[in-house]
Amino acid sequence: PQPQVQPDPTKKTLVVLGTGWGSVSLLKKLDTENYNVVVISPRNYFLFTPLLPSCTTGLIEHRSIMEPVRSIFQHRKAAVKFYEAEASSVDPDRKVVIITDNSEIQGDTSQTEIPYDMLVVGVGAENATFGIPGVRENSCFLKEIGDAQLIRKKIMDCVETAAFKGQTEEEIKRLLHMVVVGGGPTGVEFAGELQDFFEQDIKRLVPEIADRCKVTLIEALPNVLPSFSRQLIEYTENTFKEEKIDVLTKTMVKNVSDKTVEAVATRPDGTKETITIPYGLLVWATGNAVRPIVKDLISKIAAQKDSRRGLAVNEYLVVQGTRDIWAVGDCAVAGYAPTAQVAAQEGNFLARLFNNMAKTEALEARIHELSSSLNLKPGTNSADAAREIEECERKLRRIKDIKPFHYTHQGSLAYIGSEKAVADVSWWNGNIASHGSMTYLFWRSAYLSMCFSTRNRLLVSIDWLKSKMFGRDISRE
């Protein structure tokens, strides 16, 4: 049977913002027939971010790590409404979300209001630039699929331009200098993938300039991967040295122009020196900043006046100062790192919570209905009604109260190039730090198993095989 399309007036309207890790994990496990579910996101697909760095060099094709959200909803008993739009503001007093279609093609209506009874904010975060001049205009980010496609295009543009007849030596060096700012996992994984690309494909296909290709990673702190254990940090830095990736630690970028980066480096004796680094491609990976929609919501809730890094939530992920708004993932401040692992567990938690709430409410409503009928018409079928009330009460007792959200850290993994990875894996009550080629195989199998669907798993496996057999596709489209 076709799912019901019109909203059911007897059910609450649950509006979910975003189609990332948090929101999609919630939607995957939610019994959608309990609510009128409306999903709003400028992106009509889920993106498996852990493999995004591999798309920048064409090791993996971008569509292999995307899953259309409409296919997630297709087999649901109740229809889920999806609007491809950005939530531009939320009015918590009127309980409406204002949404805007900012896509290329627009109809007569491109802005409207969506009323909600319950709202889940899972809009993620945007790229931090710390207001550093020139960053937005001159660098590439690595958050969305479009970012990876742009980087892939630009890398090859730099290579082909460097190979142009008559190019000066100085210009060749600049064009082939790829600078990555930010030594967190995003910057490290991208630098590793890029060096692999130069070693495995550019050396073979464009040998005349390959020896001038250079990757530099700039990090403001004394080391890269600050959230990993000491042993893995050292292993990563040594591996980068072997791979000939330059790592400039204690170096903070202060200014960016179209061809150079200006940074302040702290020398071992504590003195500071300003250095200018010419680049062909600049990738900016310095972490997260709060999205405007989240800032707007924070400004409308008195209890959020001290929130700086996102929406402060309580142990049930309810946005503090509200009763009907929840937040998950990178836009929520619950005391955990902004990772896919956290967002997914939060989404799963909310699905259980909402499924439970719906069951409880339905049973309570039935008990209320039966008790009223007993009071109105005592005697008529009263034994049946009393039995059913007892049954409902028994079921209610069986529905366990959901305990507050508790995050279980399963470990951190990062690819560092030349078929090596680092892993801090939680094991019983301890931590195991592992690295090298076996860890790389573990990294691959873990990410393959975490892919959203069997279709994604198959596509990613084929991409890996294809690149192994024929090399990466360097066509610039």
Q: Contacts with ligand FAD in 38-67 (CB under 6 A)?
A: 40-43, 49-50, 52-53
Question: Residue 311 binds which entry of ligand NAD, ligand FAD, none, with Cβ cut-offs from 5 to 8 Å by kind?
Answer: none
Q: Find the shortest distance in angstroms from Cβ 114 to ligand FAD.
A: 11
Q: Is 329 in the site for ligand NAD (CB under 6 A)?
A: no
| CA gap 213, 164 in Å, rounded | 15
| CA gap 160, 183 in Å, rounded | 28
HSE-CB at 361 with a 13 A cutoff on CA atoms is 11
Q: What are phi and psi of 330, to 5 degrees?
A: -65, -20
Q: Is 467 in the site for ligand NAD (CB under 6 A)?
A: no
| CA gap 77, 157 in Å, rounded | 49
Q: Find the shortest distance in angstroms from Cβ 42 to ligand NAD.
A: 20
Nearest CB to ligand FAD, comparing residues 119 and 370: 119
Q: Is 275 in the site for ligand NAD (CB under 6 A)?
A: no
Q: Is 115 in the site for ligand NAD (CB under 6 A)?
A: no
| CA gap 245, 411 in Å, rounded | 26
Asked if 265 and 121 touch (Cβ cutoff 8 Å), the reply is no
**From 57, 195, 286, 348, residue interacting with ligand NAD (rule: CB under 6 A):** 286
Characterize the bridge pairing of strands 420-427 and 411-417: antiparallel
Q: Contacts with ligand FAD in 163-222 (CB under 6 A)?
A: 186
Q: Is 313 in the site for ligand FAD (CB under 6 A)?
A: no
Q: Find the shortest distance in angstroms from Cβ 94 to ligand FAD.
A: 18
**From 15, 16, 30, 142, residue interacting with ligand FAD (rule: CB under 6 A):** 142
Q: Find the shortest distance in angstroms from Cβ 117 to ligand FAD.
A: 18
**From 92, 187, 310, 417, residue interacting with ligand NAD (rule: CB under 6 A):** 187
Nearest CA to 333 out of 360, 314, 353 is that of: 314
Residues binding ligand NAD (CB under 6 A): 50, 130, 132, 181-187, 189, 218-221, 226-227, 252-253, 285-288, 337-339, 412-414
Residues binding ligand FAD (CB under 6 A): 17-23, 40-43, 49-50, 52-53, 86-87, 122-124, 142-143, 186, 291, 293, 329-331, 338-341, 343
